[in-house]
Structure 1
Amino acid sequence: MTAPPRLTPAQIVALGPLGSVSPELRRALSGAGFEPMPQPAEGDWLACHPERGQKYAEFVAEKPLVPDETRRTLALLPLGVPARPGIPRPGLLRDALEAFYALPARLLPRVPLAEVGMRTRINPHTGKVQLYTPHILAFLKQRLPPDVFALAAITGEDLYPDESWNFVFGIATPRHRVGVFSFARYDPAFDDEPFHPGDEKLVLRRMIKVLVHEVGHMFGLRHCIYFSCLMNGSNHIEEADARPQHVCPVCLRKLQHAIGFDVIRRYEALERFYEGAGLDDEAAWVAERLGEIRA
């Protein structure tokens, strides 16, 4: 079978043979509309954390945990005080999870930070409180409902995974299907800046990206090095902002293998969500992909 158009040899190898996929999925994986992975600059993720990537065949061979009839729901757990005005409500993030992963998602009751009982520290660079992620992950493992495949906690407090790290946007454990992410550094107030017109959508885009990125790790996806992709690693806010809102063909094939969704219906649900959330650029990108897939 001929290789899909628009793909480099490395991308074709990472994607794997497509003889067994449907015509619609094959068109979705063609490479149309996806940008190549940019060369990392000094301070970027790959410049500091060299990674070899994860081909589709490697993903399948690793036999990651996948949803089944018993555990086929995603859950979102707000942690700590409610977000201040301008920060997207958790229900909107729940809707994003449901559309992105084509699985039912529900919002759990908010949990006070004191109930978690975690270590904290003051970041020496920012002077702000940070929460120790291993203690949060241990708490979430105990709170994972039996019908939930993946549980993600969201918090407005900054996070750190180890004393040697400055901070982390989010972290997840595929084996235990739990993760936590912070919107602290996505809020202009973190740098003592006021909200400006348009900041609400910028914060929403940032929060959706880190949320679905961390949940992607719970499905067994590692950082992507083949395209500009939602699953790219990020070392700083500028690099995180540069990531697209979508997964690349390689990561899309992994998710479709794990979840078994209809690719057209998934994109249709994403288009409805983006339109409803006022994310016009993302809605237009999805509409263009649907045009390619239906052709």
Structure 2
Amino acid sequence: MRFNSIIIQPYLPEDRIDKKILKERLENIFKISVRWNQPVHTPETAFDRFRGQYLGSYFLRDLLKYREEKSILLGIVSRDIYEPGMNFVFGVASPHTKTAVISTYRLHNSFYGLPENSHLFMDRVTKEAVHEIGHVLGLSHCPDPECVMYFSNSLLDTDRKSFYFCSSCYEKVLSALGL
């Protein structure tokens, strides 16, 4: 399928994301336009009271309300998300619905008791966004620890990898985009 845009759908409350930087990085990597939608309320039905977290895959269904033909939709939520069997996830994606969501909750240094670093935060947001869009395009995890498609089991894994694809994964991305 040929995509002509990535639509970013922020959920309230919005995090301190530099929208211009993320837009430029995604356009540079994926070679398609990126557009920001107006923020929408976080669906409270996704909240699991027992866990105190939001079910990540719930957002994938919620995002379908905002999809446009030939677009990839990326949700950004500042809440903590999880998937069954996992303590937490940084993001989740579906190649079938062409939707993905990332959580910024655990990408802040302050979550770990460290001083905030806005540049490092934006690098982490970019890596998670690119990673989940890679899954939307059908890529699986990569064994190269520097490739953005490497599985991040912790923030250290995220910090170690690049926000670019290795050459093998990037060939798959370009093919999936029809480029």
Change (3 A) 1:142 1:234: same
* Letter in structure 2 aligned against 1:121: D
Which of residues 27, 31, 39 in structure 2 aligns to 1:98? 27
Change (3 A) 1:226 1:192: closer
Give the C-alpha shift of residue 207 in structure 1: 0.6
Inter-partner Cα distance in structure 2 for 1:203 and 1:123: 29
Question: By percentage of residues, which structure has more strand?
Answer: 2
Q: Unaligned stretches of 5+ in structure 2?
A: none
1:112-164 superposed Cα distances (whole Å, 9 cap, x missing partner): 11xx242323686xxxx421112211111232123x421000111110112x3
In structure 1, the residue matched to 2:56 is 133
- For the pair 1:118 / 2:36, whether they are aligned, the reply is no
Give the C-alpha shift of residue 77 in structure 1: 0.7
Describe how 1:80-91 pairs up with structure 2 within 5 A.
Answer: 80-83=12-15, 87-91=16-20
Which of residues 49, 72, 75 in structure 2 aligns to 1:153? 75
Describe how 1:1-295 pairs up with structure 2 within 5 A.
Answer: 66-67=1-2, 71-83=3-15, 87-113=16-42, 116-121=43-48, 129-146=52-69, 148-162=70-84, 164-195=85-116, 199-226=117-144, 228-261=146-179
For the aligned residue pairs, the C-alpha RMSD in angstroms reads 1.9
Give the C-alpha shift of residue 99 in structure 1: 1.3
Q: Unaligned stretches of 5+ in structure 1?
A: 1-65, 262-295
* Letter in structure 1 aligned against 2:135: H
Inter-partner Cα distance in structure 2 for 1:223 and 1:182: 19
Question: By percentage of residues, which structure has more helix?
Answer: 1
Normalising by structure 1, we get a TM-score of 0.57
Change (3 A) 1:117 1:143: farther
Q: Which has the larger radius of gyration?
A: 1
**Is the Cα contact below 8 Å between 1:172 and 1:215 reproduced in 2?**
yes
Inter-partner Cα distance in structure 1 for 2:138 and 2:74: 15
Identity of aligned residues (%): 26
Inter-partner Cα distance in structure 1 for 2:17 and 2:124: 10
* Letter in structure 2 aligned against 1:118: T
Query: Structure 1 residue runs of 4+, over 6 Å off?
Result: none
Inter-partner Cα distance in structure 1 for 2:98 and 2:72: 5
Change (3 A) 1:205 1:227: closer
Normalising by structure 2, we get a TM-score of 0.90
Inter-partner Cα distance in structure 2 for 1:179 and 1:247: 18
**Is the Cα contact below 8 Å between 2:46 and 2:59 reproduced in 1?**
no
Inter-partner Cα distance in structure 1 for 2:105 and 2:5: 26
Change (3 A) 1:118 1:167: same
- Could you say which structure has the greater relative contact order, defined with CA pairs below 8 angstroms and 6 or more residues apart? 1
Change (3 A) 1:202 1:227: closer
